[in-house]
Amino acid sequence: DEHDHHDGNDDHELRVSKIRDGTVIDHVHGGQALNVLAILGIDGTNGEEVSVGMNVPSDRLARKDIVKVEGRELSQDEVDVLSLIAPDATINIVRGFDVVEKHRVERPDVVEGVLSCPNAGCITTGGEPVTSRFSVLEDGVRCSYCETIVRDEIASLIDT
Ligand code: CTP
Ligand code: ZN
């Protein structure tokens, strides 16, 4: 039945535990989970309780990653930037073990302070206190300061 493959579990195992209250970021393309955490600024140093499943079997995608953040409800703004690397992600808000909200990520028009410009001559990379800013294109992102366009390697621009 449709519940056979949640989180890549079958009838015998649940690979990543359910959470009580927080956010489940589901249907992340395989291999992008660590980039999801980087974009959300989660590196574990603040004591966040985070579970990550990587390359688990999925009905919808061949393989998926899944990220579960306990005790934190991510806002739509916070997750929209995830659309750049996880366009098919589903955001589930969980309260008392129940999914109370489910939404898809949406592509924002602009992304600020999350990506760093690959152009060494850009004012945002020269040690000036300028926050990075990219406009989101159909097929990539463009630095608002130097107009550099990045299409394929967006994940490599994530500020970690
Ligand atoms: N989940 C969780 N902890 C909970 C409730 C749900 O970790 N207390 C996870 C589930 O394991 C699943 C995701 O949140 O990976 C979404 O849960 P649910 O909507 O119940 O599953 P599906 O119906 O399979 O979701 P979708 O239709 O989006 O695939
Ligand atoms: Zn630039």
* ipTM of the shown complex: 0.96
Instruction: Give 97-125 pLDDT, tens digit per residue.
Output: 999 999 999 999 999 988 999 999 999 99
CATH code of the region 110-157: 2.30.30.20
Residue 12 has pLDDT above 90, yes or no: no
Predicted model pTM: 0.84
Name the closest ligand to CA 133: 2
pLDDT in tens, 37-58: 988 889 889 899 999 999 998 8
CA-nearest residue, atom 23 of ligand 1: 3
- Cα-flanking dihedrals φ and ψ of residue 69, to 5°? -115, 115
Domain chopping of the chain, boundaries = 6-104, 110-157
Which residue's alpha carbon is at the smallest distance from atom 21 of ligand 1? 6
CATH architecture classification, 6-104: 2-Layer Sandwich (3.30)
Q: pLDDT of 126-149, one tens digit each?
A: 888 999 999 999 889 999 999 999
The ligand 1 atom at the shortest distance from the C-alpha of residue 20 is 8
